[in-house]
Amino acid sequence: MTYYNNAVITKRELLVRLIKLLNDDELFEKIDRIPLEMRPRTNSPIRCCVHKDRAVIKYKIMAMLGFNISDEEDELTPLKEYAQKAIEGHSLTGDFLTVVDEACSSCVQVNYTVSNLCQGCEGRPCQVNCPKDAITVINGKANIDHQKCVNCGLCQKACPFHAIAYLPVPCEESCPVKAIRKNAEGIEIIDFDKCIHCGKCMMACPFGAISEKSQILNLFYNIKHKEEKTIAMVAPAVLSQFKANSSQILKAIKAVGFSEVIEVAEGAKLTTQNETEELQERLSEGAPFMTTSCCPSYVALTRKHIPEIQSYVSHTPSPMVYTTRMIKERFPDHKVVFIGPCLAKRREAFESKNIDYVLTTEELGAIWGALKIDVLNMDDKSCVSNSVNAESRGYAASGGVTRAIQSVLAKDNNLATQQIDGLTKKSIKLLKTYPRKAPKASFIEVMACEGGCINGPVNLAPSNVSQQTLIKAMNELVTELA
């Protein structure tokens, strides 16, 4: 669960500004002014000074244009040049996160710090109990020697004045696979041999220092200026993100300039069917269990961190892959964009080669904002394909895949199911035990995000709201049939 914050607002404002400029044909002229406009001298600076704030904005834009911050060769390269390359579709590398080093506040190396609540008492339990002899009292206040401290926390427990505070490093603590850590300068570095693109570090950093690399400019330019026929594939989670009915949302997406809008739920139907058959086959052959494979972050996890479990992961392609196949058959010359709440889908699409772009729900919102498209102004006459069913839209929430599978099984099936609702250090530990000691359940649904895709990292609505809206989007289909 992320709390809504100003770093999120900055990101969205930047996206809207970029699209507005591109839409008004003023991008090259004005992109280098964005840092000045967003961080004027008259405002009190967020960081040390206005210049730092502006540099942060500049590098956040650079990431939005799809570049690694570490790729910078010349600090004087204007944003204009990066924008030009972004529009031309410079080749993406397969890593979709980048640390904006200018924004990274290089949080503490040592998590414990003595606050000014320290009374300098006679007992000095912090000093007495420190196993590493790391505490000295200087001018009547305890002081922790960072070279000696091992973050054991005994001093904090021992202090009767609660004078020792625990200071976390939010990105490192949120990463379930220890893929992010500091370099010698204290700036965070992501290890992409370990990273599963779950996006948790990006959501956790209150400095907004971890950015995703986007394709938004390239995509929007090609639709608008090259009139490239591009089909939007819409993940069911997108329907949970706006206060409108599904038809209005789908029409508002079409209004951006896509040639067709197709729900990923169409492909999900095939995933359900084939995954059920695969499950029955595997179980009849004596396999103890099978896990889902639709969450790309989980699939990356199995590949990079739990290779022993790979043979238990379903081979059935994800709804996105099936939907792409259907689209490519019907419209072989059109480009395809996946719109969803997921960072890991950027990676999945990159590997699949068939999907040209990934756009996040957040970016879709920014495009609508810039183009003044409002979902509630769309007419609500149904435009939903009759090959979409409620169970397929249900994939977007935890438990949805399980319910879809059960809907095609016989009513009296006694399939034992289990849900791993969110990849955390703890749930990963549990998954690691399964190849050695099979779980009780024979079907395991794994979602990297707690609550499922409706709570993905690049969404717009808070999870309680999106849960209700998704149920509404599913019920729409049930009532239409009745």
Contacts of 119 (CB under 8 A, 6+ apart): 161, 163
- Longest CA span, the chain: 80
Can you name the residues that pair with 230 across neighbouring β-strands?
Answer: 335
Establish if 471 lies at the interface with another protein (CB under 8 A).
no
Q: Closest CB to another protein among 132 and 254?
A: 254
From the number of C-beta atoms within 10 Å of its C-beta (0-12, 13-18, 19+), residue 136 rates as middle
**CA 406 to CA 395: how far, in whole Å?**
13
Q: How far is the CB of 179 from another protein (least distance, A)?
A: 29
Nearer to another protein, 13 or 172 (CB): 13
Distances (CA, A) of 81 to 108, 204, 332: 35, 31, 33
Q: Spell out the residues 6+ positions from residue 107 whose beta carbon is closer than 8 angstroms to its own.
A: 167, 168, 169, 170
**Burial class of residue 58 in the structure, from the number of CB atoms within 10 Å of its CB (0-12 exposed, 13-18 middle, 19+ buried):** buried
Q: What is the DSSP string of 138-152?
A: ETTEEEE-TTT----
365: contact with another protein by CB under 8 A: yes
**Site for another protein contains 255 (CB under 8 A):** no
Say which residue the tokens 């084939």 belong to. Answer: 274
In the complex, what is the shortest distance from the CB of residue 246 to another protein, in angstroms, rounded to a whole number?
15
Rounded Cα–Cα distance for residues 190 and 67 (Å)? 15
Question: Does residue 373 interact with another protein by CB under 8 A?
Answer: yes
Footprint (CB under 8 A) of another protein, residues 103-122: none
When asked if residue 35 is in the footprint of another protein (CB under 8 A), the reply is no
Q: Does 243 bind another protein (CB under 8 A)?
A: yes
Among 34, 155, 179, 461, binds another protein (CB under 8 A): 461
Q: Per CB under 8 A, does 41 bind another protein?
A: no
Q: Which is nearer to another protein, 241 or 419 (CB)?
A: 241
Q: How far apart are CA 38 and CA 64, in angstroms?
A: 16
CB of 7 to another protein, least distance (A): 13
Distance of CA 93 to the CA centre of its chain: 18
> Residue 40 interacts with another protein (CB under 8 A)?
no
- Of 21, 79, 355, 460, the one binding another protein by CB under 8 A: 460
Binding range to another protein, per CB under 8 A, among 47-55, 265-273, 294-302, 462-470: 462-470
Helices (H), 24-92: 27-30, 34-38, 50-64, 79-88
Q: Does 376 bind another protein (CB under 8 A)?
A: yes
Using CB under 8 A, which of 310, 377, 385, 475 touches another protein?
377
Two structure tokens written together for 254: 């079409």
Q: Tell me whether residue 326 or residue 465 sits nearer to another protein (CB atom).
A: 465
Q: Does 458 bind another protein (CB under 8 A)?
A: no
Beta carbon of residue 376, minimum distance to another protein (angstroms, whole number): 4
Evaluate whether 401 touches 417 at the Cβ level (below 8 Å). Answer: no
- Sole window of 88-96, 254-262, 316-324, 368-376 interacting with another protein (rule: CB under 8 A): 368-376
Confirm if 389 and 265 have CB atoms less than 8 A apart: yes
Stretch that binds another protein, among 97-105, 202-210, 436-444, 457-465 (CB under 8 A): 457-465
The single residue among 46, 158, 465, 471 that binds another protein, judged by CB under 8 A, is: 465
Per CB under 8 A, the list member of 89, 125, 369, 435 interacting with another protein is 369
Q: Which of 375, 384, 420, 441 binds another protein (CB under 8 A)?
A: 375
Instruction: Enumerate binding residues for another protein (CB under 8 A).
Output: 4, 9, 12-13, 16, 241-244, 362, 365-366, 368-369, 372-377, 460-462, 464-465
